[in-house]
Structure 1
Amino acid sequence: MPAGPTDDSTPFRISFVCTGNICRSPMAEVAMREQVARAGLTAQIQVSSAGTGDWHVGEQADERTIAALSEHGLDGSQHRARQFDSHAFDDYDLIVVFDGSQERILRNWAQTDDQRDKVRMLLSFDPEQAALRDVPDPYYSDRAMFDAVLVMIERATAALFRQLAPALRQRG
């Protein structure tokens, strides 16, 4: 479990980081923001996303990402891809990745053990999915894979939120 928020005046900051910031990380960002909003905790938690690469910077999320989110009642249409800034580790309390490649990249970019410790695999928060370790990248697959990946991400972000919410509610 991530460390709880320590300063009542500062929101807990999470960044979801995938490869291009057009599929998995926007799904997680939108799903987590919705959970935070439903719980009335928008002042206590900030959610963002980014990619390890710069290929899609400034672009919308993949159309299949937007469609899958829409079918789940979520709006990903405003998303614009950005690249994770390797100097921004201290801007976040938790950096959540989707596969071992992203985990290795971010831990290599980190300059301190504290920064490396902020990098966590998404499925590690969900005991039922943790053994899978990686969330598959749906980019080169079909629309059905986007739907399956979104279900995995929704379950895992809900598990993460359940771990964070008690500490966040105490602050509010």
Structure 2
Amino acid sequence: MKVLFVCLGNICRSASAEGVFREISQAETDSAGTGGWHVGSPPYGPMLEAAARRGYDFSDLRARQFRVRDFEDFDLIIGMDANNMRDIEALRPEGNDTPVRLFTEYGDTDMIEVPDPYYTRDFDGALDLIEICADGLKRDIG
């Protein structure tokens, strides 16, 4: 199973989701952003620090932009919020049926979206939600 996590800039939420999920799953993972501002950049420093306090190290990741080819390259695409979902779907090739799901669909949570800690500054809260959803995703896909 190949899973792609997508957020806006690929330096906080989707990078963290990839980092957490690759620790708990055998799935092949990647992450991307719908925007291209941070292409080639490592994950955001405060997010890396929050993750390191929990034992995660995904400092090796580098941001990239979501591309049409991702619909062919991945079995499942996971968006972090409604705007990400809209931007992903806008690029869907005609006839493609790759599932695109909101990450919070996999978590036992009242949260509808994963808030962007780049703006909220709540890196630990974002990681709490990412861990919950990652566990649910693992149970769902095996």
Matches within 5 A, 1:2-151: 12-36=1-25, 41=26, 45-112=27-94, 114-115=96-97, 118-126=99-107, 128-129=108-109, 131-142=110-121, 145-151=122-128
Q: Calculate the TM-score normalised by the size of structure 1.
A: 0.79
* Aligned-partner SS, 1:15: strand
Q: 1:100 to 1:113 in 2, by over 3 A?
A: farther
CA distance in 1, matches of 2:51, 2:95: 35
Q: In terms of Rg, which structure is larger?
A: 1
User: Given residue 66 of structure 1, which amino acid in structure 2 is its aligned partner?
Assistant: L
CA distance in 2, matches of 1:141, 1:16: 20
Q: 1:77 to 1:107 in 2, by over 3 A?
A: same
The number of residue pairs the alignment matches comes to: 142
The 8 Å contact of residues 77 and 101 in structure 2, kept in 1 or not, is answered as yes
Q: Calculate the TM-score normalised by the size of structure 2.
A: 0.94
* Aligned-partner SS, 2:31: strand
Where structure 2 has 5 or more consecutive residues not aligned to the other structure, the ranges are none
Where structure 1 has 5 or more consecutive residues not aligned to the other structure, the ranges are 1-11, 166-172
Taking only the aligned residue pairs, the percentage that are identical comes to 37
